[in-house]
Amino acid sequence: MSGNRQSQNSSPPAQTEDLDLIPLIRSLELANLELDRVHRWQKEFIANTSHEFRTPLNAILSFLRLVMDGLCDSPEEARQFLHSAYDSARGLLDLINEHLDHAEIEAGKLDLQLTEVNVAAVFEQVEKSSRRQADQKKVRLTFRAPRTRVLVRADAANLSQVLLNLVANAIQSTTQGEVRVQARSWRDQGHVRFQVRSLGWSPEKQGNLFHKVDPTIPLADRRNGEANAALAECKILVECMGGQIWLSTPCRGQGASVYFTLPLVTPQPLYWRRTADRERGLDIQGPPTGPLILLVEDEPKVLDKLARILQKHGYRTAYAVTADDGLEGAQRLEPDLITLDLGLPMRPLGALQSGLDLYEALQRDPHLAGIPAILVTGHDPALTRTTQTLPPILSKPFRAQQLLDLMADQLRGVNLLSAQG
């Protein structure tokens, strides 16, 4: 009997151990499914890219073999074959570079050269490049640049690429009517808002307009507007340059507009590329005591306004310009509250692309998740189209009392929770 009791008493722990293993087994099954999917993607990717590479390589070898075997009727024909081989080699190099660019964009590892870019000059360049496609489809193409000289902080080549991708997709999706491109300076919000409007962006297609595309799709198909890969890259490029991009649909039958913003160049920009400049921002300014506020903002006038208001009312301030610097500043200073701009420049080789990325990173860190945050932004339309949980929003332009009231509410809530704890 005692043996039976021992057997009965020992069985529950074994059953418990089996139950404990169920989540682990399920995790392993999911991991195996993911590995299988990645393996299939890898095979399809290799098959597609090898086909894309094989075509120009065969052309190069064929032309060179004709010359080497002396099968040319004249020196002029030999030169033509060599030129054809050279063109195929350049095409192959472009194909490889395009694959590498796609990989860098997807990984967010772009080395952007942010400079002052003239919007009107970019419009002129993009219009020339897009005019032929519009004429072939008999679509009216209209560009409206700002009447005065407007400069944005951007990578000139990538800004042109964003507009080219949007315009090409808009033209391809439009069977009749007009594709309109315009830009407007919003100085009180510190950015320039671009708009590309197309009647061809139907509601059925709009949901997937910026979705990433399966990397196994050949590049020739990715260039097709239906694949939307170029538009997915537009989103990454705009956010890496410190802007936001979103889709707006007026009503059924009127198409849609893609809007994106980029920072407006100011006479006295904030410097942040050098370590010394970033360290200077994290020096605490203001009264000797008082709540410490970390301001993550790239617009000098807005930053100056925030700092002046807060310091005048007893707050200490420090600032960071990029999202990665904001995260490092929060880890180092442990501020009482953080203000976040939505559109921020991306630090070279940085991991965070926007104020929302920074907010999510703060929430994931157990030591920083309790720090209250306020989103200070002029990108309200983009925020209405996000499903992310957002902190309280202070819209630019704002009044001093709006800032102080919202900040007091957030700090009061933290103090209340601390007292209850």
pLDDT of residue 361: 92
Mean pLDDT is highest, among 51-65, 123-137, 324-338, for 324-338
Q: Does 98 share its domain with 122?
A: no
141 confidence band (pLDDT: 50, 70, 90): very high
- C-alpha–C-alpha distance, residues 368 and 14, integer Å: 40
pLDDT of residue 236: 80
- C-alpha–C-alpha distance, residues 44 and 220, integer Å: 15
Q: Does residue 1 sit within a domain?
A: no
Mean pLDDT is highest, among 87-91, 376-380, 399-403, for 399-403
Helix-strand-coil split of the chain, %, nearest 5: 55, 15, 30
Q: Does 289 share its domain with 307?
A: yes
Q: What is the CA radius of gyration of the chain?
A: 28
Inter-CA distances, 373 with 188, 292, 338, 387, Å: 22, 12, 5, 18
43-47, 404-408, 417-421: range with lowest mean pLDDT: 417-421
Asked if pLDDT for residue 5 goes beyond 60, the answer is: no
Sign of CA dihedral 287, 291, 297, 299: negative
Q: Does residue 269 sit within a domain?
A: no
Number of structural domains the chain divides into: 3
pLDDT of residue 105: 58
Q: Does residue 77 sit within a domain?
A: yes
172 confidence band (pLDDT: 50, 70, 90): confident
What CATH number is given to the structural domain containing 201?
3.30.565.10
Q: Is the peptide bond before 397 cis (omega within 30 degrees of 0)?
A: yes
Q: Does residue 353 sit within a domain?
A: yes
11-15, 249-253, 280-284, 356-360: range with lowest mean pLDDT: 11-15
Q: Does residue 10 sit within a domain?
A: no
Cα angle 402-405-409, degrees, rounded to a multiple of 5: 135
Higher pLDDT, 215 or 179: 179
pLDDT of residue 26: 75
Q: Does 301 share its domain with 204?
A: no
Angle 323-333/355-364 helices, nearest 10 degrees?
30
What range does the domain containing 82 cover?
18-107
Of 233, 263, 293, the position where a domain reaches its end is 263
pLDDT of residue 225: 42
CB 275 within 8 A of CB 328: no
**Interval 229-241 mean pLDDT:** 77
What CATH number is given to the structural domain containing 93?
1.10.287.130
Mean pLDDT is highest, among 327-331, 384-388, 390-394, for 327-331
Q: Does 145 share its domain with 253?
A: yes
pLDDT of residue 230: 62
Give the tens place of pLDDT for each residue, 153-168. 888 888 998 998 899 8
Asked if pLDDT for residue 405 goes beyond 80, the answer is: yes
What CATH number is given to the structural domain containing 405?
3.40.50.2300
pLDDT of residue 319: 94
Asked if pLDDT for residue 227 goes beyond 70, the answer is: no
pLDDT of residue 246: 84
Q: Does 329 share its domain with 410?
A: yes
Of 62, 81, 107, the position where a domain reaches its end is 107
What token pair was written down for 379? 């990108």
Q: Does 30 share its domain with 68?
A: yes
Q: Does 190 share its domain with 290?
A: no
Phi, psi (rounded to 5 degrees) for 12: -55, -45
CB 295 within 8 A of CB 305: no
Of 107, 138, 168, the position where a domain reaches its end is 107
Higher pLDDT, 127 or 99: 127
**Interval 56-81 mean pLDDT:** 88
Q: Does 280 share its domain with 413?
A: yes
pLDDT of residue 384: 55
Give the tens place of pLDDT for each residue, 336-386. 999 999 888 877 777 887 888 899 999 999 999 889 999 988 776 566 555
37, burial (CB in 10 Å: exposed 0-12, middle 13-18, buried 19+):
exposed
Query: If you average pLDDT over every residue of the chain, what do you get?
Result: 79
Q: Does residue 384 sit within a domain?
A: yes
Asked if pLDDT for residue 412 goes beyond 60, the answer is: yes
Phi, psi (rounded to 5 degrees) for 330: -65, -40
Q: Does 254 share its domain with 286?
A: no
Collapsing DSSP to helix, strand or coil, 347 comes out as: coil
